Amino acid sequence: MRRRTIVIPVIVVVAVAALAGAAAITWAATRDAGAPRAVVTEAPTPGPAPTVDPFPREALTPETRYVALGDSFAAGMGAGDEKGRCVASPKAYPDVFASAAGIDLIANTACSGATTADLLKRQLIALDDRTDLVTVSVGGNDLGVAALATDCSAGKAVACRTELSSALSLLNVLPERLASVYTAVAQAAPNARIVVTGYATLFDASDPSASDFGIAAAINAATVGLNEVIQSAVDDQRSNGVPITFVGVDFDGHGIGTAHPWVNTKGYTAFHPTAAGYKEYAHELERLLGTAI
């Protein structure tokens, strides 16, 4: 299969030629009146060089080799039929997306509980120079969201608020960790496009408990903050020529507090998407990348 060349934008420094020196200008001004005056014309300043989008728009094909990396949100925890120590489900969004798009899911190495460090240590082995597409869902566990989900879903208000405060205080450590992950993925899969997914907000905006200053509103705010950090880290990489992009996922109308939530609310899968929620993740990838031809 034809390999792609990643085009990295180059900052072009344009040098503008200097005008005539002061002595020459004086000479032109004092010449005999009958002689033609020297005309000094400024060289036009070229406009900015066109930039090349490092994340190319390319059609998916049945030969597209796809690898998924990340934590429980990529493993599919909460979707049902989970197995193994990584609590992985065949209804995880990478599986659903690959099936719908007709592409080749080489591996889903995502594991519930994985942090950025875990991804770097254990998941990159699935990547190589034949990989065409990579999705990454990671960052939440670096903030200790597992404990947050346990305490908040159990109604332990004091512990929940403590975990939220701790998670928010750790947001400042994420940019460097995410940069390390995205750089490592790009190096391990030099011919691949990289799609980083955000985390869907859990509580519906129409739910009164999500619009006050209670726990629901705080959890949504923390999720938004996490997504902003992730997207900013992705934008930094993209500005440096990495073929990477961010895709957000919206559960509006299907969050906790609605008639048909796409979020689990009890047990060890609490605050993780249901099978319907992961299907929405897959739909967002389809909207971004299209389906196979």
DSSP string, 169-196: HTGGGHHHHHHHHHHHHHHHSTT-EEEE
142 within 8 A of 177, measured Cβ to Cβ: yes
Tens digits of pLDDT across the chain (293 residues): 433 333 323 222 222 222 223 333 333 333 344 444 444 555 556 555 546 789 988 899 999 999 999 999 999 999 999 999 999 999 999 999 999 999 999 999 999 999 999 999 999 999 999 999 999 999 999 987 666 666 676 667 777 777 777 777 788 899 999 999 999 999 999 999 999 999 998 888 666 555 545 778 778 888 889 999 999 999 999 999 999 999 999 998 999 889 999 999 888 898 899 999 999 999 999 999 986 54
54 within 8 A of 242, measured Cβ to Cβ: yes
Which one of 89, 153, 254, 272 is the catalytic residue?
A: 272
Q: Pairing relation of β-strands 65-70 and 133-137?
A: parallel
CATH 3.40.50.1110 fits domain 65-289: yes
Alpha-carbon gap, residue 90 to 114, rounded angstroms: 18
Alpha-carbon gap, residue 150 to 233, rounded angstroms: 28
Query: Has 72 been annotated as catalytic?
Result: yes
203 within 8 A of 216, measured Cβ to Cβ: yes
Alpha-carbon gap, residue 64 to 83, rounded angstroms: 27
How many CB atoms within 10 Å of residue 27? 12
> Token digits for 32?
């005999």
Query: Has 272 been annotated as catalytic?
Result: yes
Sign of the torsion angle spanned by Cα atoms 95, 101, 107, 111: negative
First to last CA, the chain: 15
